[in-house]
Structures are given as structure tokens and as C-alpha cells.
Amino acid sequence: MSLRESDLKQEPACTINRLGNYLWSDLPDENKWADCVHCGMCLESCPTYEQTGQEQHSPRGRVHLIKSVAEGKLEVNEAFADPVFACLDCRACTTACPADVDVGGLIEEARGQIRQALPLTGWKGAVSRFFLEGVFPHPSRLHLLSSLLKFYQKSGLQKVARKTRLINIMPKHLVEMEAILPKVKQPVRKKYKHAGVIKAKGETRRTVALLTGCVMDVMFSDINEATINVLTRNGNDVIIPQNQTCCGALHVHAGDRETGRKLAKQNIEAFKDVDRVIVNAAGCGCMLKEYPELFREDPKWREKAEKFSSKVEDISKYLHDTGYEKPKAEIKTRITYHDACHLAHGQGVRQEPRDILLSIPGVEMVHMPNADRCCGSAGIYNITHPEMAEAVLQSKMQNVPEDVEIISMGNPGCMLQMAMGVLKYGRNQKIVHTVQLLDWAYQKEDSLKEVK
Ligand code: SF4
Ligand code: SF4
């Protein structure tokens, strides 16, 4: 099954599933707010409440607003949309909540209603459609974007644009993002297009499939490469299904659940013949695990989505659980670890990446206070809400220990945002994915063997 242009068009609105003032299909799940007892234990965990001190920008406030629309007390209008879209979808409140209220899931469902009732228009609508519908779901366009960025960096254009300050014609936050653009390399999906199976080094113990991601493979293909190296070194044959697509997280976060469902269906089909789907981007992994939520009204696809999501595993958890070769070469460095929200709060993966980092000889781990506090990246939040994202980043950077050389984490969005934090606040730290450091240790070990 492949995604066609026509699949991306919005289906006509359905008005039969009315719930209070929610008039559109794919209603928010009443069970998600039923358990909220308004205790407020989630308030302190919420970065937007920390910044504003306003109840409507807290998890409890948002749950109350969403419920009020279902009760017909509030309309789906801009005043409702503002606090719902100002949420970072960081899931810290879900961890804090003693009643397990899935605030993040509820927020996404409410956004789906808002975007059907109030579609984005003007330049915001055009930009959103261009990237969400026109670029991310299409590998060939992503590869073109990767080639353009590579040309921009290698041709000297980047140097000229920076030197002449021509770059400053862009909005401020885009200029800041350009400054932290990683060195773009060939996407692994393109590189291994005809590879079939990338064979394990030595005896094959398992076969896994890799989700290459869209942002990950364009901006951080070296992390995908490191992931393949680490997997094959540990007895895994690796498959990269060529009909896989974007996970849909950015679409679902933006309220476009229909496109999210179409992308989900394509991925479910693309990975149907494998037992394990390995993901190295926390946001994508969390989305893949939550595919069943997109099919609450479609039992057939819900069943398929449940089967699929049970196969999804973050790379750090997979290595930790199945066993991996402990590196022998020393990498003498002081590091700190940032918990990506969608890994810690979204998937409950906290200790595994820390254990992997600590298994590298020479690595000294420095504790980061509030390590699982959002960095402000949150998909495209730092583009849609630059001021709040900046305030959240500032708060995060205050917790990053000064005396470390590396900040490690497991999500590309966080890596870009933290790189921006390092640049803005005059720090001098490298941003490294957990699996990259492990790969470096293996490579060092191999090169030392060659010298002997
Ligand atoms: S979401 Fe959870 S923690 Fe927050 S007020 Fe409701 S029950 Fe309490
Ligand atoms: S998901 Fe994050 S930003 Fe949104 S309400 Fe919960 S804690 Fe606040």
C-alpha cells in the first residue's frame, strides 16, 4: 500500500457524532477526562503553567476546558484553541497525575476538533500544508530537501549568507535555527535503497526493521548510520522497508488526525512482515506506539494498529533488554543526560539509555536536575510558539550542569533545541544521541585493534 496524493485530501466533515459543541468526527474520548479529580498535582509539572501561572495553561485547566466544550458550556473558537495549542504535548502531567489522566492524548483529540472547525488559513495554512502534506510524507521530496541543504552547506552559500548577513532577512527564530543546522549527509534510506537486508556482523541473532524517520534522516542521517552499526554489531540483521513513511506525529500534534491515520496505515502495512520495529527518535516511537488511539472508531484498523505498536521499541530499550556488547575502549568524558519527553513520559524509558552511557568505560555521568523537563522543542512548537519555546528552553538550560562536555539524549527535535540552547547561552557542549556515543566507543575499540 502506498500513499497517494488523493489520500492526503481532508475527507468531508461528519456531523453525526455530536458531543456537546464538538460537532466533528473523531470525538475526544470522554473516558480520558472522567478520572480527573481536579487535585492539581499536575500543575507543578507543567512548563506552560510554570511560565504563565494561569490555570487555563495548566493540565487541569486544559482538561476542564475540553470537558466544558463537551458539556456545551464553551464553543470551539479561538479562545479555546489558544490554550489547547499552547500545550507542548510533553506528557509531564500524565506522569505526575495520580489518576493516570491522559492529558496529552486528550489535547491531541481536541486539536483534531479545532482544526476541523477552524482550519488554518492564509500563510499559516499554506506553510503548514506545504510541510505537513507536501514534504514530510514524500521520501523523494525529503531527499531533495536533503540535497538542497547539502548544496547550501557545501557550495559556500551558507558562508556567504552568514558573512553578508543576508540570512537576517528571515524571521529571527528561523535565523537561529539556521545557525544550528547540523552537517547534512546522505539519508540512510537512500543509501541502503537496494541493500535488502543489512547483515549482522557475525552470527545473526535477530532481524529488525528500522524506522528511518523524516527529520532524523534528513538532519541526522549519521545517527541512523550509528544505529545500524550498533544493531548489526550486536547480531541484528537490519531491514529498511522502502515503503515506510513519516510517523505522523507532527500531523497529529497539529490536529491533522486524518493525515496521521493515512500515514499510520502506510506504516502498519510497510512493517507488517517484521517482528520488531526499532526507533531512535522518541517522538516517532511514541507516535507509533499510540497508533491504536487514532483508530478508536475503526475496529479493523485498531486491531492492526495494536499488533503493530506492540512491535515498536526504542533503540536504547531494545539494546538494554536483548543484551549488547559492552564497549571496551575508553571515552573519557563528562556527560549529562536529558530525558526526551516522549521517551521518559511517553514510553517510560528512563534508566536504559543512562545504563548504556554508563557502560562505556571512561564516561562520567553528571546529574541534571529536572532532567525530564521539556526543552521547548515539541515538534514544531518552537516555530509556532517561539516565545514560549524560548522561555522553556531558558529554564531547561538553567538546569544543565556547566561542567560537562556532552549533553546526551534520544530525540532529534530535542537535539536541535538543545543545540540552540548551547549556542544562545554561551555553553560549550556537544549534543550527542545515546546510540552515537556507543557507536563511537565501538569504533575506537576497532581502530585500537587495527593499530595493534
Ligand atoms: S489531570 Fe490528574 S493531576 Fe491534574 S488535576 Fe486532574 S486528576 Fe489531578
Ligand atoms: S502536556 Fe506538558 S504542556 Fe501540556 S498540559 Fe501537560 S505538562 Fe502542560
pLDDT digits (tens, 9 = 90+) for 2-52: 444 444 444 444 445 689 999 988 999 999 999 999 999 999 999 999 999
What is the structure's pLDDT at 21?
A: 94
Helices (H) and strands (E) counted in the chain, each on its own, are 25, 9
What is the structure's pLDDT at 6?
A: 43
Nine cell digits for residue 188:
540512510
CB distance 60 to ligand 1 below 6 Å: yes
Burial of 16 from C-beta contacts in 10 A (0-12 / 13-18 / 19+): exposed
Buried-state track 62-94, b at ≥16 Cβ within 10 A, e below 16 = bbbbbbebbeeebebeeebbebbbbbbbbbbbb
What is the structure's pLDDT at 3?
A: 43
CB distance 38 to ligand 1 below 6 Å: yes
- Which fold does the domain 328-451 belong to in CATH? Rossmann fold (3.40.50)
Longest Cα pair distance anywhere in the chain, in angstroms?
Answer: 75
> 328-451: same fold as 3-117?
no
Q: What is the pTM of this model?
A: 0.91
| Rounded CA separation 341/374 (Å) | 6
The three-state secondary structure class of 433 is strand
What is the average pLDDT score of the chain? 91
| Rounded CA separation 154/215 (Å) | 20
What are the residues facing 433 on neighbouring strands?
A: 409
- C-alpha separations of 26 from 53, 74, 112 in Å: 31, 19, 8
What are the residues facing 239 on neighbouring strands?
A: 197, 209
Q: What is the CB < 6 Å shell around ligand 2?
A: 45-48, 59, 62, 87-93, 103-104
Ligand 2 centroid distance, CA of 321 (Å) = 30
In CATH terms, 3-117 corresponds, of 1.20.950.20, 1.10.1060.10, 3.40.50.920, 2.60.120.380, to 1.10.1060.10
Side chain identity at residue 373, one-letter code? R
What is the structure's pLDDT at 159?
A: 82
- Tell which residue, 188, 198, 207, has the closest CA to residue 273: 207
Q: Domain ranges in the chain?
A: 3-117, 328-451
CB distance 252 to ligand 1 below 6 Å: no
What is the structure's pLDDT at 16?
A: 52
Measured from the Cα of 374, ligand 2's closest atom is: 2
Nine cell digits for residue 86:
499552547
Q: Which residues contact 29 (CB under 8 A, 6 or more apart)?
A: 105, 106, 109, 296
Enumerate residue ranges in the chain where pLDDT < 50: 1-15
pLDDT > 70: what percent of the chain? 96
Q: Using most ligand atoms within 8 A of CB, pick from 90, 108, 392 the residue to mutate for ligand 2.
A: 90
